[in-house]
Amino acid sequence: MSNPLRLGIAGLGTVGVGVVRILESHADLLAKRAGRPIEITAISARSKGRDRGVDLSGFAWEDDPVVLATRDDVDVYVELMGGEDGPAKASTEAAIAAGKHVVTANKAMLAMHGQALAEQAEAGKTALKFEAAVAGGIPVIKALTEGLAGNQITRVMGVMNGTCNYILTRMENEGVPYDQVFADAQALGYLEADPNLDVGGIDAGHKLALLSSIAFGTKVNFAGVALEGIQRISTTDIEQARDMGFRIKLLGVSQLTGRGLEQRMQPCLVPVNSPLGQLENATNMVVLEGDAVGQVVLRGAGAGEGPTASAVMGDVMDIARGFSMSTFGQPATGLQDIQAAQASAPAAFYLRLTLKDAPGALHKITGALANAGVSIDRMRQYSHQDAAAPVLMVTHKTTRAELDHALDGIMATGVTLESPVAIRIEDV
């Protein structure tokens, strides 16, 4: 059998420990499948003395991940520390400069610096692989770059943040308000140290930007992702969406249009009987649409020790087998620098309004919509006991610009008690 493939792992949190466990439990199977042994030679983390539940005594220790990344006995640098810049970026650059292959789960680093890192890796003829950075255990990058390579991809959609899906699912199934479920998720450790990375759509937006690059052959443009979080979604919205045959999901959508690259990460209504509408709890789902294959649905665990470590090992196995591919599926120097779409495709919208219970209030609202060119498909008023009159509307298809004009007009009427909630209804 060939010489072993030697790994240096930086970051021994949940995912790093998961990689160690896979290598320990499946050593023989991995060697047979790769045609060579795969072993860890050196590791690095913030704390050397912490008990991580696995035996690390057989591996060399480095305090500095940059030193680890350039060791002579490391062939593949596995970066699992996270962070957009700092040690993660410095050690990744050092590894590539030293001729090492890199496997990473760091979506933030790649969303911000992926183009430069890919160009550096390809110039040095080393691999930079990141299956674990997008949708956890779902092999969506392999699907795009390999299985669907014969297709022109027309659209990418997905629920890519399990924490948000967990929050929305509990709000629906238990009727629990957002603030309470958010607190529960935080207590369970589901949220990032900065919760806005999750509930604000930033984490999922990083993933969408990476998938867009692979799907459409464009440079990674996270700045071009329109972001909207789930913080304003109420149990009322969820209940009314369900009554109309929809569920609310934090949905990422990317498509290349005549207006440029459209990338959106925002709450959307999706049909309850669609694959996305049936997704529960912390599970992720990515829907890929190609001109030859049609629609492909990939569903699985989007985070956690086992699923994410599984994705890391898939990349390691490719390197062990000598399988080589450009970072984003085609040479980084040839990726298009395409502008972000300034407007999204027209869609119907759900509107929730809280009006003053006063004569003529509803007439003023419908007038503001009409003045902006937005027509109403359905409308429902609800009984109430106080001065607040709840009204639900569904528009016909309209542009977001027209809707925003209408919302400005609604606020100017003086009959609303709070800002309207507008949620896109996505065709899936």
- Alpha carbon of residue 274 to chain centroid: 20
- Distances from the Cα of 211 to the Cα of 120, 139, 161, 255, angstroms: 20, 12, 14, 11
Question: If you compute the radius of gyration of the chain from its CA atoms, what whole number of angstroms results?
Answer: 24
Give the pairing type, strands 283-290 and 294-301.
Answer: antiparallel
The catalytically annotated residue of 100, 107, 207, 219 is 207
The one-letter code for the residue type at 246 is: F
DSSP code of residue 147 = I
In the residue annotation, 249 being an active-site residue is answered as: no
Place of tokens 């969506």: 140
Beta pairing class for 246-257 and 260-271: antiparallel
Under a CB-based contact definition with an 8 Å cutoff, are residues 394 and 425 in contact?
A: yes
Provide the pairing of β-strand 153-159 with 388-395: unpaired
- Angle subtended by helix axes 14-25 and 27-34, to nearest 10: 80
The first and second tokens of residue 293, run together, are 């294959």
- The span from the CA of 90 to the CA of 374, in Å, is 51
3-class SS of residue 45 = coil
As annotated, the active-site residues are 207
